[in-house]
Structures are given as structure tokens and as C-alpha cells.
């Protein structure tokens, strides 16, 4: 069918974002860094108390934002809630990025930075992590001197697991005085490293958080931006009046009251991650140091065949062959029993394929 509509060139020149395939429920979901154990039981109890009349109202934010801010250790005016971490990132493009202006990223990284940049018609300057998955600090310092509109850094980075030390983030902030520096701390619960205390010192610093990972609320879509109030006011102007639904607000309050559940999940994930990395190493699989609830692994030439076999058996991993090289995959750290099943399946594949070492 011929459709003659005035579609923006930036949209015509890009492909639709490919969301994960449907039908993941009931499988071993190690592909999207979710909390596979599930959220705290207090969340379900809190959600069950929402009344029919409350559901018929537009959500009210003031008091709930105050309580969420208190749990996060910031002031309400330093916190902006959004419809998931993705929406928290989108608002930077609505606020700072115009067609043909420049944004700076370092790949491989979270694909939504490039996704939104392409939609905005921005120029993308992409640095690269080196073969050992280390961040190119000197290249970044040189690039920010050209004053890109926004610099996006995932810390820890996804999918590499790389953690940039605070001293390097500080050096970037000191050099990037004319750039909005967005530090995406989606995995800060696991790395235990944050630059949130710096928001008063650096008004061009913005920290993005999500409730989709350690908190286990991915389906409810709640993200946040933390920044100096004077800087955050510009993002507020770009936000719609009701970006976050009531269920997400109620769930966030509940899960933050049960921080013990988050700590328990994080401690288990870190312990299991270390064990999985050691066992993969014995199979000849190269893994990279990670500060998140996942591992980047290189299975070599046999990797793509293995990943397809695991998917057929209901074990979902996130293949990274296109972004890095064939054989690379990101593995979410699931429960102890889930990871045991994965390792057993990998060993079985190796034995049946006559593989002594993957690389």
C-alpha cells in the first residue's frame, strides 16, 4: 500500500526497535538482566490494597515522591520520576538534543542511547571499549572538549560489566563543563558505586536509576533522574504531566521499605556470579570482570550454535555477536538452580560436540 505521509527523515532512515520475543514466561530468562527470583512479597501486598477509586484517578505524585526520595537519600526537588529507565533517558533528548547536534557514547553499551539519538536526528560520536573491555578515558576527555550536547555513560556498563572508577568520572565532569553528563547507574545496587553525592558540585551531572533490576519491578516501568534542582527543572519542562502510573509508585514505596530483600538478592547474585565465572573459565570460556548482575562471555566459534541450542531448550541468553564478535554473549545471573541448569546444558553441549575447550 502506498502511504503518503510527512514522516521525518530520521524515522524513515531507521529500523523499528526489536523488543524481546514474546513467550519468555516459564523459561530460564537470562537475557534481560531481570531479577529472576521475583520482587519482594511486600510489593504484591501493597498493590492489592489499591482501591477501584484510586485506579480511576490520575495519580498524585507529591507525597509519594517525597517518600521515595527519602529512601533514595535525596531531596524531592532532586528527583524526577519517569516511566522506566528508558523514558528517563528519552527526556534528555527532548531537553538538550536538536537535529544535527552531537551526542557522545562509548560502545558496546546500552542500545537505547543510539536509538533515541537516531530518532532525534542527532550526530552520534561513538568511542569504543578496548578488547579487554576497558573504557577509553583519554579519548573521552578529548571528545568532551568538543562540547557534545550530552554524554551517556553506563556505569557499570552494559553489556561489558565495566566499572569506571569515580576518579575517572570526576575527570570527565571537570572536562565536560558544557555537556550534560548522564551517568546511567541501572546496576549501582550491584557495583555499590554511585556519584549521586556529587550533584551539588557538578550541576551538569545527571544520574539515572531504574527499579527494573535489583528491585525486580521491570513490568511496572519506573525510572528516575537525580540531579541538581536547578538543572533538573529543564528536564521537568520536557515531561508530560502524568508519566508514572499509580501501581509503579506504590510498588516503589513498598520495595524501598524492604531494602533487606534487595540486599539479599544482590548478595546472592554477586556470589553466584563469581562461581559461574570460575566454572566457565574451566570450560575455556573467557569472561570479563563485571560489576553488574551479569557476565559478558566469549564462547568462540561454537558460541552461536550453543546459544541457539540453549534457546531451543528454554534457556535465554543475550547474544552480542553483532555488537562485539561472534561467540560473545551476555548472561544474566539468575538463581543458583537456574545457573546450575545453564552450566549443565553447556557441559552437555560441549561433550556432545567433542569440545574440550571453547576458546
What pLDDT band is residue 156 in, cutting at 50, 70 and 90?
very high
What pLDDT band is residue 258 in, cutting at 50, 70 and 90?
very high
pLDDT one-digit tens code per residue, 87-105: 999 999 999 999 999 999 9
Q: 215 and 72 in contact (C-beta within 8 Å)?
A: no
What pLDDT band is residue 1 in, cutting at 50, 70 and 90?
low
pLDDT one-digit tens code per residue, 329-343: 999 999 999 999 999
Confidence at residue 20, expressed as pLDDT on a 0 to 100 scale:
66
CA torsion 266→268→274→280, rounded to 10°?
-110
What pLDDT band is residue 309 in, cutting at 50, 70 and 90?
very high
* Confidence (pTM): 0.95
Confidence at residue 228, expressed as pLDDT on a 0 to 100 scale:
98
Structural fold of domain 41-257: 3.40.640
Rounded Cα–Cα distance for residues 41 and 46 (Å): 9
Domain spanning 9-36+260-353, CATH architecture: Alpha-Beta Complex (3.90)
The percentage of the chain sitting over the pLDDT mark of 90, rounded to a whole number, equals 90
Least confident of 9-13, 119-123, 229-233, 272-276: 9-13
pLDDT one-digit tens code per residue, 196-206: 999 999 999 99
**Measuring CA to CA, how many Å separate 231 from each of 86, 104, 203, 307, 322?**
20, 20, 6, 44, 37
pLDDT one-digit tens code per residue, 75-86: 999 999 999 999
- The domain ranges of the chain are 9-36+260-353, 41-257
Confidence at residue 66, expressed as pLDDT on a 0 to 100 scale:
95
Confidence at residue 213, expressed as pLDDT on a 0 to 100 scale:
97
What pLDDT band is residue 59 in, cutting at 50, 70 and 90?
very high
Rounded Cα–Cα distance for residues 359 and 352 (Å): 17
What pLDDT band is residue 297 in, cutting at 50, 70 and 90?
very high
Radius of gyration of the chain (CA): 21
Confidence at residue 160, expressed as pLDDT on a 0 to 100 scale:
97
**Measuring CA to CA, how many Å separate 174 from each of 78, 103, 185, 204, 246?**
21, 18, 19, 10, 39
Confidence at residue 55, expressed as pLDDT on a 0 to 100 scale:
96
Confidence at residue 9, expressed as pLDDT on a 0 to 100 scale:
84
Which candidate, 18, 46, 42, places its Cα nearest to that of 32? 18
pLDDT one-digit tens code per residue, 8-33: 888 888 777 776 677 888 899 999 99
Amino acid at each position: 500500500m502506498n502511504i503518503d505521509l510527512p514522516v521525518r527523515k530520521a524515522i524513515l532512515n531507521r529500523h523499528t526497535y526489536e523488543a524481546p520475543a514474546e513467550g519468555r514466561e516459564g523459561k530460564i530468562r537470562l537475557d534481560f538482566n531481570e531479577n529472576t527470583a521475583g520482587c519482594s512479597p511486600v510489593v504484591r501486598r501493597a498493590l492489592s490494597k489499591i482501591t477501584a477509586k484510586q485506579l480511576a484517578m490520575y495519580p498524585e505524585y507529591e507525597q509519594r515522591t517525597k517518600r521515595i526520595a527519602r529512601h533514595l537519600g535525596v531531596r524531592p526537588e532532586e528527583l524526577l520520576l519517569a516511566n522506566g529507565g528508558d523514558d528517563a533517558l528519552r527526556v534528555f533528548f527532548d531537553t538538550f538534543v536538536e537535529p544535527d547536534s552531537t551526542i557522545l557514547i562509548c560502545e558496546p553499551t546500552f542500545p537505547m542511547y543510539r536509538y533515541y539519538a537516531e530518532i532525534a536526528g542527532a550526530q552520534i560520536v561513538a568511542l569504543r571499549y578496548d578488547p579487554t573491555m576497558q573504557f577509553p578515558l583519554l579519548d573521552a576527555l578529548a571528545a568532551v572538549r568538543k562540547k557534545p550536547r550530552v554524554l551517556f555513560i553506563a556505569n557499570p556498563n552494559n553489556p561489558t560489566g565495566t566499572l569506571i572508577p569515580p576518579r575517572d568520572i570526576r575527570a570527565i565532569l571537570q572536562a565536560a563543563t558544557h555537556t550534560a553528563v548522564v551517568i546511567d547507574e541501572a546496576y549501582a545496587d550491584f557495583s555499590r558505586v554511585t556519584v549521586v553525592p556529587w550533584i551539588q558540585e557538578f550541576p551538569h551531572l545527571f544520574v539515572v536509576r531504574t527499579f527494573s533490576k535489583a528491585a525486580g519491578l521491570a513490568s511496572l516501568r519506573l525510572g528516575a533522574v537525580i540531579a541538581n534542582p536547578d538543572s533538573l527543572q529543564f528536564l521537568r519542562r520536557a515531561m508530560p504531566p502524568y508519566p508514572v502510573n499509580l501501581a509503579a509508585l506504590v510498588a516503589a514505596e513498598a520495595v524501598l521499605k524492604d531494602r533487606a530483600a534487595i540486599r539479599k538478592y544482590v548478595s546472592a547474585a554477586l556470589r553466584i556470579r563469581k562461581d559461574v565465572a570460575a566454572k566457565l573459565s574451566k570450560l575455556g570460556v573467557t569472561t570479563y570482570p563485571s560489576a553488574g548482575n551479569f557476565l559478558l562471555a566469549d564462547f568462540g566459534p561454537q558460541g552461536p550454535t550453543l546459544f541457539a541450542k540453549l534457546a531451543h531448550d528454554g534457556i535465554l541468553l543475550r547474544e552480542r555477536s553483532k555488537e562485539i564478535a561472534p561467540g560473545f554473549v551476555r548472561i544474566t545471573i539468575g538463581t543458583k538452580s537456574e545457573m546450575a541448569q545453564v552450566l549443565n546444558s553447556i557441559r552437555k553441549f560441549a561433550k556432545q560436540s567433542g569440545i574440550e575447550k571453547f576458546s
